[in-house]
């Protein structure tokens, strides 16, 4: 999420440095967070929607990694050993605190038999093509 902290996140209920969501409860592995974000997004300005899109992208990657790891009953330490990355890197990726390198994501993906790539965004969740 590097670079995202430069935005004014007040509309999103976030602190610029700590990036804390004001949510009743957040289920990292489920869809409660997505429902919450959809409700918040309905009342945001266009600039704040861009910030939200960046957070949603980080959350999606983190959520996928957590689900894959837990589905295989792997600890962060075991995954790190198998992938050849540090446990702290796994932790930071899962918390959305780091932009992982392509190489690290490839090594992690190989453990699960998945590839790194672009996937289509859900309808209505894409940025306007005129925005650069």
- For each of the domains in the chain, give its residue range(s) and CATH number, in order of start: 4-112 (1.10.260.40)
pLDDT tens sequence across 78-104: 999 999 999 999 999 998 888 889 999
Using alpha carbons, list the distances in angstroms from residue 87 to 27, 91, 119: 22, 6, 26
pLDDT tens sequence across 51-71: 877 777 768 888 899 999 999
Pick 7 or 46 by higher pLDDT. 46
Q: Give this prediction's pTM.
A: 0.56
């Amino acid at each position: 999420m590097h670079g995202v902290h430069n935005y004014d996140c007040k509309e999103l209920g976030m602190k610029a440095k700590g990036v804390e969501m004001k949510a009743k409860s957040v289920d990292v592995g489920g869809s409660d967070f997505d429902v919450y974000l959809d409700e918040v997004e309905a009342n945001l300005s266009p600039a704040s929607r861009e910030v939200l899109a960046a957070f949603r992208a980080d959350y999606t990657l983190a959520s996928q990694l957590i689900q894959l790891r837990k589905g295989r009953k792997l600890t962060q330490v075991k995954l790190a050993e198998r992938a050849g990355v540090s446990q702290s890197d796994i932790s930071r990726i899962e918390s959305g605190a780091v932009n992982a390198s392509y190489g690290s994501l490839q090594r992690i993906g190989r453990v699960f038999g998945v590839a790194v790539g672009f996937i289509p965004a859900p309808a209505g969740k894409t940025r306007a093509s005129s925005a650069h």
